[in-house]
């Protein structure tokens, strides 16, 4: 197909490609003349984390001890570990649908509970002990039991000494 039969759109596309090719050639020649100097492509980070074109001043460097660098999460003490068994109040329970919510007494977090996770018969507003696991839609209470407080050992009442006759 000769050039006389080309449409105006094809001519525009060809001229754009030619222009792009010539621009690319000019840039390549300028890079060669520059001598491959890469100094203008280097960026530095200053002590505040900002990008800069000036190199850092080495007299302002701070020495860091290798022991001070922490790579992982610091370990928690055993006293900071939360007990897996929680205590809360069954604030809502729908008997017909078999689900409800427990409000954790420590964190005030509302946790979903299903009747299948009950270990004993529990009614609304009972204080319960439970564990939290990830359910299908978020945290869910499992192993739900009626909370039984430890009986406090009381000393037997002192009997008054018998009056001697």
Tell me: pLDDT of 151 over 50. no
Encode pLDDT of 8-43 as tens digits.
888 999 999 999 999 999 998 888 877 666 666 788
Q: What is the mean pLDDT of the chain?
A: 81
In this structure, how many other beta carbons lie within 10 angstroms of the beta carbon of residue 142?
16
Higher pLDDT, residue 141 or 159? 141
CA distance 130 to 148: 12
Closest by alpha carbon to 88, among 57, 52, 45, 132? 132
Domain boundaries, the chain: 9-61, 85-146
C-beta separation of 56 from 44 below 8 A: yes
The answer to whether 102 and 126 have CB atoms below 8 angstroms apart is no
Question: Taking every pair of C-alpha atoms in the chain, what is the biggest distance, in angstroms?
Answer: 144
User: In the prediction, which pLDDT does 128 show?
Assistant: 93
91-109, pLDDT tens digit by residue?
A: 999 989 999 999 998 889 9
Class of domain 85-146: mainly beta
26-31 long-range CB contacts below 8 Å, 24 or more apart? none
Percent of the chain with pLDDT over 70: 78
């Amino acid at each position: 197909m000769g050039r006389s039969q080309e449409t105006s759109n094809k001519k525009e596309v060809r001229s754009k490609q030619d222009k792009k090719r010539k621009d690319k050639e000019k840039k390549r020649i300028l890079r060669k003349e520059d001598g491959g100097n890469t100094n203008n492509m280097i960026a530095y980070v200053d002590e505040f984390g900002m990008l800069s074109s000036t190199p850092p001043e080495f007299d302002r460097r701070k020495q860091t001890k290798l022991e001070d660098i922490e790579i992982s999460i610091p370990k928690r003490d055993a006293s900071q570990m939360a007990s897996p068994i929680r205590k809360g109040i069954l604030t809502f329970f729908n008997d017909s649908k078999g689900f409800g919510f427990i409000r954790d007494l420590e964190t005030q977090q509302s946790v979903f509970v299903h009747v299948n996770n009950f270990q004993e018969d529990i009614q609304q507003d009972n204080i319960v002990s439970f564990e939290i696991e990830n359910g299908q839609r978020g945290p869910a209470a499992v192993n739900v039991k009626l909370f039984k407080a430890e009986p406090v050992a009381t000393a037997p009442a002192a009997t008054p000494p018998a009056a001697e006759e």
